[in-house]
């Protein structure tokens, strides 16, 4: 070999050494990065842990807070709002009623035809529309004019194809799923916005009046006969179908619950209620807080950066509006602290870009190579070419966040049932049968549920049911039924409009 050959061989060897060194370094970095994300995942799992002992602490805390909220105004983070709904629909309601359901993401308009005599609801037509983002932070007039026009269009379309309302003035049940201080079953003022709405001139104003005025401005002859929270509408429909229904819970954009309470247990307004036997109480449980709730740094950051810090703490761990963003925060941190996702993508930095239906789709991706996970990471978060092991890691993050949410939700339900006497210490759910009998003979208790998170996210539903069994024990859990009420918040509002118009008619005789 000549000199040139030797030099060439040496150069090749040197190049090979450099390449090998680069590859080793890269492999080591990748391994370090992988170790880092695994550590972050383990920390997340630990921070979100919900062993049954902790869930029982949450159950007790919920029951205690309910008592405190009923004892005095401001006595708890649970507002335990009066609804002035003393009676739930009986099945004798008759006629055509409209409902307007303003939730967090969508609004729905409905027309419900009731046959009376405990007949099933003859028919109901519903139209769903997303609430345009800009209206969530605009003015009261803009929001309500938009709603009134859509309602008017719906009424005109409906009355074109079916018989017009016999009533001169149509009756409306208005479901308004934000905290309201009711003055009667059909009026009330907005206490605060939640779920990303922020129209400041509306706080403190009468919600029914705002809608009533918008309907007049837009030439729609309709009267708000009932103003209800979505939980109350759902309870009304649940009770209409099944008299063992004692409570209702919403798992949608937000989360909340209500139940029928004995009037004498509502200590904060004894005088007001002395003649009445019971009232539906809107818990506003999204604002529940307890030191037993497993909180992570991701929850703290989400809360700090939200428009309502220190508010709606339970909701921020549980509901559809937030679960996707918790997952995004975890993935962002993993991406910042390792290179397993490649360079930090700008998509990951956008709050709320990863929506809960997307984490459900990733979580429930059953394709062998997790193609749906790859698609969402690429198209939504702009993270291309994620290897399979990292895709699995993302699925695990979705699992941890959703499992915690569902298990805490279950603890909330059991806490509610405990307060109203499911545990046989008294209250509406503790029948004589339950008092005398064994646990398995305990009274059948139904909880009506509504909301897109519960109905569309199978894993959320399964984890919730599983946790109910763990907390209650399987034989007791058998007697607690969770029944989905599709469109319950809207149909229930129409039912309440019907029962309230009926009682008004009787009152005026
Ligand atoms: P609202 O709360 O506005 O009354 P819904 O009850 O329809 O509306 O709930 C909508 C919410 O449910 C969405 O904001 C979303 O968080 C959640 N959701 C809808 N579809 C799914 C899905 N496929 N998987 C998981 N969550 C979903
Ligand atoms: Mg809703």
**Residue-wise pLDDT tens digits, 45-75:** 999 999 999 999 999 999 999 999 999 999 9
End-to-end CA distance of the chain: 119
160 Cα–ligand 1 center, Å: 31
- Helix ranges (H only) for 350-487 are 356-363, 371-379, 388-419, 432-436, 452-456, 458-472, 474-477
Neighbours of 381 (CB within 10 A): 24
Give the DSSP H/E element, type plus range, for residue 101.
strand 94-102
At residue 5, the pLDDT reads 64
User: pTM of the prediction?
Assistant: 0.89
Q: Which ligand is nearest to the CA of 451?
A: 1
DSSP-derived letter for residue 188 is E
At residue 287, the pLDDT reads 98
At residue 277, the pLDDT reads 86
Give, using CA atoms, the residue closest to atom 16 of ligand 1: 320
Give, using CA atoms, the residue closest to atom 19 of ligand 1: 452
Token digits of residue 329: 């925060």
At residue 115, the pLDDT reads 83
- Arithmetic mean of pLDDT, 199-203: 94
Give, using CA atoms, the residue closest to atom 4 of ligand 1: 103
Of 111 and 4, more confident: 111
Of 169 and 295, more confident: 295
At residue 94, the pLDDT reads 85
| pLDDT-derived band at 125, boundaries 50, 70, 90 | confident
Catalytic residue selected from 195, 316, 418, 419: 195
Highest mean pLDDT among 7-11, 86-90, 283-287: 283-287
- Whether 432 has a pLDDT exceeding 50, the answer reads no
Q: Lowest-confidence range among 35-49, 183-197, 445-459, 493-507?
A: 493-507
- The per-residue pLDDT for range 259-279, each reduced to its tens digit, is 999 988 999 987 665 455 889
Residues in the chain: 509
| pLDDT-derived band at 8, boundaries 50, 70, 90 | low
CB 493, CB 124: distance < 8 Å? no
Q: Distance between CA 381 and CA 323 in Å, rounded?
A: 16
Q: Which ligand is nearest to the CA of 195?
A: 1
- Arithmetic mean of pLDDT, 406-414: 98
Neighbours of 339 (CB within 10 A): 17
At residue 18, the pLDDT reads 61
**Catalytic-residue membership of 195:** yes
Ligand 1-lining residues (CB < 6 angstroms): 103-106, 252-253, 320-321, 356-357, 360, 451-453, 456-457
């Amino acid at each position: 070999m000549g000199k040139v050959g030797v030099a060439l061989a040496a150069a090749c060897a040197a190049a090979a050494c450099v390449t090998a060194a680069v590859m080793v370094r890269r492999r080591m970095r990748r391994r370090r990065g992988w170790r880092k994300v695994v550590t972050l995942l383990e920390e997340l799992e630990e921070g979100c842990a919900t062993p049954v002992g902790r869930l029982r602490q949450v159950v007790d805390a919920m029951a205690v807070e309910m008592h405190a909220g009923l004892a005095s105004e401001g006595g708890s983070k649970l507002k335990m709002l009066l609804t002035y709904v003393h009676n739930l629909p009986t099945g004798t309601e008759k006629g055509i009623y409209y409902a307007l359901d303003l939730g967090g993401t969508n609004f729905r308009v409905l027309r419900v035809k009731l046959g009376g005599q405990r007949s099933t609801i003859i028919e109901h037509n519903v139209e769903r529309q997303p609430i345009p983002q800009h209206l969530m932070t605009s003015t009261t007039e803009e929001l309500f004019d938009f709603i009134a026009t859509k309602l008017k269009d719906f009424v005109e379309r409906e009355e074109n194809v079916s018989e017009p309302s016999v009533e001169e003035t149509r009756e409306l049940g208005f479901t308004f799923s934000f905290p309201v201080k009711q003055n009667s079953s059909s009026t009330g003022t907005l206490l605060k916005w939640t779920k990303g709405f922020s129209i400041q001139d509306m706080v403190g104003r009468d919600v029914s009046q705002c809608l009533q005025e918008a309907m007049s401005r837009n030439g729609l002859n309709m009267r708000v006969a009932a103003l209800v929270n979505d939980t109350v509408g759902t309870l009304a429909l649940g009770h209409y179908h099944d008299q063992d229904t004692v409570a209702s819970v919403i798992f949608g954009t937000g989360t909340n619950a209500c139940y029928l309470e004995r009037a004498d247990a509502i200590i904060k307004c004894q005088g007001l209620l002395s003649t009445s036997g019971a009232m539906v109480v809107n818990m506003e449980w999204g604002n529940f807080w307890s030191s037993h709730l497993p909180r992570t740094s991701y929850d703290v950051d989400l809360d700090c950066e939200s428009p309502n810090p220190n508010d709606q703490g339970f909701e921020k761990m549980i509901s559809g509006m937030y679960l996707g963003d918790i997952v995004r925060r975890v993935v962002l941190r993993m991406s910042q602290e390792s290179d397993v996702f490649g360079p930090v993508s700008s998509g990951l930095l956008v709050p709320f870009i990863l929506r809960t239906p997307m984490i459900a789709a990733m979580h429930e991706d059953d394709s062998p190579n997790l193609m749906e996970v790859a698609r969402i990471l690429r198209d939504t978060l702009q993270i291309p070419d994620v290897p399979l092991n990292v895709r699995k890691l993302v699925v695990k993050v979705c699992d941890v966040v959703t499992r915690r949410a569902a298990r805490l939700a279950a603890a909330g339900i059991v806490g509610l049932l405990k307060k109203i006497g499911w545990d046989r210490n008294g209250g509406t759910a503790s029948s004589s049968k339950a008092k005398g009998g064994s646990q398995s003979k305990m009274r059948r208790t139904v909880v009506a549920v509504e909301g897109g998170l519960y109905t569309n996210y199978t894993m959320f539903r399964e984890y919730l049911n599983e946790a109910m069994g763990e907390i209650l024990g399987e034989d007791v859990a058998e007697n607690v039924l969770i029944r989905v009420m599709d469109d319950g918040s809207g149909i229930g509002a129409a039912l309440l409009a019907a029962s309230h118009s009926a009682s008004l008619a009787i009152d005026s005789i």
